[in-house]
A and B are shown apart, each in its own frame.
Chain A
Amino acid sequence: MSTVDLAPVEGVELAPEGRLVSLGRVRGMGVFLAVLAVITLVAFGIGVPSGAHAVFLVSGPPALSISPLTMSVRWVAVALAAGCAALAVLLVLRRSARGSYLIFSSGVVLFLWAFLAWAARGAALNLSQMLVGTLVYATPLVYGSLSGIMCERSGVVNIAIEGQFLAGAFLGAMVGSASGNLWLGVLAGAVAGGLFGALLAFLALRYGADQIIVGVVIVAFCTGLTNFLTEQVLTPDQSTLNSPQTFSPLAIPLLSKIPILGPMLFDQNVFLYGAAILLIVVHVALFKTRWGLRVRAVGEHPRAAETVGIHVLSVRYRNVILGGVIAGIGGASFTIGSIGEFSAGMTAGLGYVALAAMIFGRWRPFGALGAAVLFGFALSLQSYLAVLNVGIPSPFLSMAPYVITIAVVSGLVGRVRPPAADGVPYSRE
């Protein structure tokens, strides 16, 4: 599971802003896979009694019942370890870096498979549920990373996504609950996020304040403010102000009838569909339109943009506010998308994970989607394993997604190239 790579449609559109993967790094990935293979073999294979079995369930429509998949844990692990080792050898022997990420990701998937088999030994694991969980977690991450892309492609760093999430979640819940209209809740979330986007833009662009500091301050401010308001306003009047309905799943005709995948992808709530549409819109706008060309120019070389008559600051204001709006909608998905209640600090650092997804996805919408799905899977795995009670202490399980984030961002991403003027204040003289 890595990024989705889009081949350039026409030579001109896509500049290869891709990462530069050195062969040394490819070998490093190979060594990493080899270590995973050894762990698989020893911990999940030989270390498991030969009689242990794991059952994988896939839920489908009743008419098309799929029989549960029963596997012997030891032999599955041994087979997967062999596969993983083979991929490791392949990586170490490679002479070109092209496609290495695909091989590496496949190896990681094999490892995860073995891990799941081991974790579910003597029990049943519902794969469909876990995949749906992945999508549920990935949804806000997609909004968050699209927000980051909007801002950073124009040259403004937005690390306030976490704060905009909280603001959107809070106001979305309150307005959605008080008005009884969930769409008003979405709108309120968007407004809340947009306001904090505007604040970031104002301080960073008007006064040239350091964007990282402004971002951190906005997160701290939003955290404090929502905590305070929850205590003072929401809690005393919980039933009217903090009990919004949630969007119920909306089945898309025909598509939702596809076996297995249909219910997973096409019988979900509007936030997931919204994320998918937004993803395509942002991608097309950024890479195919005049607007996108100008935004990217402003993010790469603002002075060049100005000399051809583009108003650098207007572009940045617009994008940072739009980015805030997107993050605000993503925030609303936390409350009126699934849980139906705002609680203090409920976004739990996912705003930062979204930022990591943006970087891992190389500031490209579909790249960020790939990363969001990866992180979403880690989060879903963690919550699922917590239920399964696999013998790993739950605090360690809750660390897992963040460990993966750190490992991915520091080690595996390689050299990514952010927009050249990202975070650099612009002045005309």
Chain B
Amino acid sequence: MKLELAGITKRFGALVANDHIDLTVAPGEIHCLLGENGAGKSTLMNVLFGLLHADEGEIRIDDEPVRFADPGDAVRRGIGMVHQHFMLVPVFSVAENVVLGFEPTRGGGFLDHRKARKDIRRLSQEFGLEVNPDALVEHLPVGAQQRVEILKALIRDAKVLILDEPTAVLTPQEIEALFRIMRSLALAGRSILFITHKLKEVLAVADRITVMRLGKVVGAADPTAVDEAELAAMMVGRSVELVVRKEPPKPGPVVLELRGVRIVDARGVAVVDGVDLEVRAGEIVALAGVQGNGQTELSEAVCALRNPEAGTIRLDSTDLTKATPKAALRAGVANVPEDRQVDGLVLGMSIADNLVLDLFDREPFARHGARDLARVAADGEIKLAEFDIRAPSARETVGNLSGGNQQKVVVARELSRAVKLLVASQPTRGLDVGSIEYVHRRIIEERDRGAGVLLVSSELDEVLALGDRIAVMYRGRIVGIVGPSAGRDRIGLMMAGIAQPGPSESDGDNPPVTNLDLT
């Protein structure tokens, strides 16, 4: 099946999310759509899948123009989509999720589970999509959930499969497995539209590449004829520094010490189980791992946002084990939280107010119980310039800023105190390349100033670029601590729970300075 998008335009008010997009996907082709967050890739795919309606342009299948009123129409014409946020019902079984909307029945509307299972097993075998039809989706790891999504498209006989940022949540091994599945699908004559902003993956798997920027197609490329730097330049619109420059660390005394930390969540499950970890002044410890292996909870415990059930957390001489968030903050912890819009900012308030959320009740921003608004406003304007926050004024509502500028507001607030320890969780998630460079530089400056940094990231590139030591978490435990020279493959295996620590690197109590990658 040949799929063509011709002149697709989609506007949201004044914003043109898609500006006359042309795109052709040939049968059996893995076609990569590359672009930064906000380039309009997801909007385009939602138009193609009937979730949004284009203002102009047309979609053609085998040269015949088609219109999709809703996703059902798109599915009937052979288009399948694996959404970035999975469209699975967590409390349903794999089989129920796969057949939903397409259910085989035994007559009278009764579900035919036997046929559902049989169809799923057949497709699983044909394309190497291993999954148990009777398992509950909420109990499956993310990689398996993704296979369920792909099965959902295949059981409806999708000829074109859209994969929207499919690798964001996967381990390197799972990514490899996904690529194998994609290739076997392409060999069977199905086309794949692979949406991503990750250059390595594009070059690894694509047959053809289309690059989008700011709602427009800015070029096409042949994966055999381009390199990462060229693609990055097309995607961002200028040449980009792909490597983070940093000096070797000068580790000082221990600032953060975790001993046997155990954290139990609301369900009573131990999400962090016996973690020992030290962070020294002047070093970045990166906490790597696939999302949901306890990193979030651990970083929250360090910021005293939750209290561990057992173990101790010490910052210098202060015991933070049972501290309140305010006490942790006063003791010198800075927190760049995972979800800036929920935990980092009050979206409805101004930039200036958000900048003093931590200190609004004390000198110099308040006196005798009353806020000094002039002082807050003046401080806001200073920070705007200092941290390069792009906004007309500090009175602007934070919710109106772009993701990158919102993150700069968080960073500006957190780094304006005396910081002994910076906890940065997924600090560049969803940011454009320019903002990523900025945030990375700030983190390194903070380290060089002598603060300890605990970086939580599920992006392996970020972990390797910033981490002086890398602690890999799997199922609530640290499976090993390695230097950045350990390499992607080995860290990837550790992320999958296969620990292969080197002899001197396994012990978290002794920072393996000898293993640091100093080159």
Contacts and interface: CB of A to CB of B under 8 A. Distances in A.
Bind each other: yes
A11 interface: yes
Contacts of A16: 136
Contact of B72 (A22, A300, A309, A417): A309
Contacts of A305: 89, 100-101
A429 B100 contact: no
A305 B101 CA distance: 7
Contacts of A13: 111, 113
Interface in B383-441: none
B100 A17 contact: no
A290 B268 contact: no
A290 B105 contact: yes
B95 interface: yes
Interface string B77-94: 000010100111111110
A147 to B, nearest CB: 22
B52 interface: yes
A11 B134 contact: yes
A15 B136 contact: yes
B308 interface: no
A300 B92 contact: yes
A284 to B, nearest CB: 9
Contacts of A301: 87-90
A64 interface: no
Given A12-B95, A12-B134, A308 B88 contact: no
Given A289-B110, A300-B90, A294 B100 contact: yes
A297, A303, A304 interface centre (most CB from chain B within 10 Å): A304
A155 to B, nearest CB: 12
Contact of B83 (A294, A297, A307, A429): A307
B75 interface: yes
Contacts of B110: 288-290
B92 A11 contact: no
A420 B110 CA distance: 24
Contacts of A296: 89, 92
Interface in B110-152: 110-111, 113, 116-117, 133-134, 136, 152
A95 interface: no
B75 A290 contact: no
A12 B100 contact: no
Interface in A327-362: none
Interface string A289-316: 1110110110011011111111100000
A87 to B, nearest CB: 24
B100 A297 contact: yes
A305 B116 CA distance: 18
Nearest to B138: A15
Contacts of B117: 12
Interface residues of A, number: 32
A246 to B, nearest CB: 35
A321 B236 CA distance: 52
A17 B111 contact: no
Contacts of A17: 91
Contacts of B86: 304
A17 B108 CA distance: 26
A293 B95 contact: no
Contacts of B70: 306, 309, 311
B75 A12 contact: no
Contacts of B136: 15-16
A12 B133 CA distance: 8
A12, A294, A301 interface centre (most CB from chain B within 10 Å): A12
Contacts of B49: 307
A209 to B, nearest CB: 22
B381 interface: no
Contact of B87 (A11, A12, A303, A417): A303
Contact of B93 (A11, A294, A311, A417): A11
A305 B100 CA distance: 8
A20 interface: yes
A288 B87 contact: no
B268 A308 contact: no
B111 A308 contact: no
A228 to B, nearest CB: 43
A20 B52 contact: no
B103 interface: yes
Interface string B155-194: 0000000000000000000000000000000000000000
Given A290-B103, A307-B83, A308-B100, A297 B93 contact: no
Nearest to B104: A290
Contacts of B267: 20
A417 B90 CA distance: 12
Contacts of B108: 289
Contact of A297 (B51, B71, B92, B133): B92
B243 to A, nearest CB: 39
B353 interface: no
A11 B136 CA distance: 10
Given A290-B109, A307-B81, 4 more contacts: A13-B113, A306-B51, A308-B101, A309-B102
Interface of A: 10-13, 15-17, 20, 22, 288-291, 293-294, 296-297, 300-301, 303-311, 417, 420, 428-429
Closest 3 CB pairs of A and B: A309-B72, A308-B101, A304-B87
17 contacts: A12-B93, A12-B133, A12-B134, A15-B96, A16-B136, A22-B268, A290-B103, A290-B105, A290-B109, A293-B100, A296-B89, A301-B89, A304-B89, A306-B70, A308-B71, A308-B100, A309-B101
